[in-house]
Amino acid sequence: MRRTTLLTVATTAAALLTAAPAHADGGPYGQGLHHCAPSATTQALVCHFDVPPGTYDVTVTLGGRTAGSTSVTGETRRALLAGTDTGAGERTRRSFTVDVRDPEGEPTGPAGSPGLDLTFGGAAPRLSGVRITTAPATPRLFLVGDSTVCDQPGEPYTGWGQQLPRFLTRGVAVANHADSGESTVSYLANPALFPTVQPLIRPGDPVLIQLAHNDKQTDAATYRANLATLVEGVRERGGRPVLVTPIVRRWFNADGTLNNGTALLVNGLGVDHPAEIRRLAAGLGTPLIDLTALTKARVEELGPEASKALYLTAEKRDNTHTSMRGATEYAALVLGELRAQEILPERLIR
């Protein structure tokens, strides 16, 4: 399907200091408006585009008269582009694809603002231009999960799914439908969750499923049945389900290894969630990303002290939820499996 250009915004380095007045130029999406203005509290440039929910390709031209370093976030703190350096007088172009939805973050969270919001931050943001085009046929990578995966609305909390887009280029949009506090039981039962996600899945779309942290009182048979229902629901739509074992909690034994119960997600009924997921993936012939094993190896490698930086241990005394660093590292682990198992083609990985 041909992609239609919706709007082009040109800003210079001066726009970081002074916002030009808005002016109308007609068109359904506000073509010709000045969409960007300096942040009131930081040196970032904040842009808003009045577009309806959908999938959009974004091409940004970074750089300016002076050297810069620019990163891009969008919507509810989604990392879309890592810090990109430009020399004085240099221009560089980068592209990515964004899933715009309502609500823009967690499915049961605040609605956020309509349209597409982009923030150009970093050590020295320099933006020369933005182009947005519709991309309705672009594949989406769906995420089904809990608070360790979701687009967390407030710092310092950060889900690994929130950091995953920064590793991907134009041609796939991360549709993060993870939601805080959800279990396999509630994700199936809540109309805002799987009943909403399932109709959006198109043939070929990968759907990553990581639910375990909140299944504290779910027995093994129910847990397996719920995961199987999610897998079959994805397959009914022609999607490609991928089971993901949960990230570990940061709870150490005296010998520096992680606790076999709390840390490795064995619930109060003795259900070993990662083991159940591994067995189910094998039985259903579903790809498996063993994020429990990967995060366990990383946390034990760092040890009791250094691993605090991956979680919110210092900030919140929280050994379950990740910091931005932890979320970024864990997203990179997921990316490695998406590449190794050819769940995503190499051309879509930045």
At residue 34, the pLDDT reads 67
pLDDT tens digits, residue range 236-285?
999 999 999 999 999 999 999 999 999 999 999 999 999 999 999 999 99
Residue 139: CA count within 13 A, CB half-sphere? 17
pLDDT tens digits, residue range 282-299?
999 999 999 999 999 999
**pLDDT higher than 60, residue 37:** yes
Distance (Å, whole) CA 326 – CA 303: 14
If you average pLDDT over residues 77-100, what whole number do you get? 96
Peptide bond into 103 cis (omega under 30): yes
Q: Which fold has domain 5-134?
A: Jelly Rolls (2.60.120)
Contacts for 156 with CB less than 8 Å, ≥ 6 apart? 312, 315, 316, 323, 324
Q: Name the DSSP letter for residue 329.
A: H
Which run of H or of E encompasses 187?
Answer: helix 184-189
At residue 209, the pLDDT reads 99
Q: Where are the domains of the chain?
A: 5-134, 140-348
Distance (Å, whole) CA 10 – CA 64: 12
Distance (Å, whole) CA 143 – CA 133: 24
Q: According to the CATH classification, is domain 140-348 in 3.40.50.1110?
A: yes
At residue 40, the pLDDT reads 83
- Distance in angstroms between the alpha carbons of the first and the last residue of the chain: 24
Residue 147 burial (CB count, 10 A): 19
pTM reported for the whole predicted model: 0.91
32: left (phi over 0), alpha (psi -120 to 50) or beta: left
pLDDT tens digits, residue range 192-235?
999 999 999 999 999 999 999 999 999 999 999 999 999 999 99
Q: Quick one: tokens of 193?
A: 């969750």
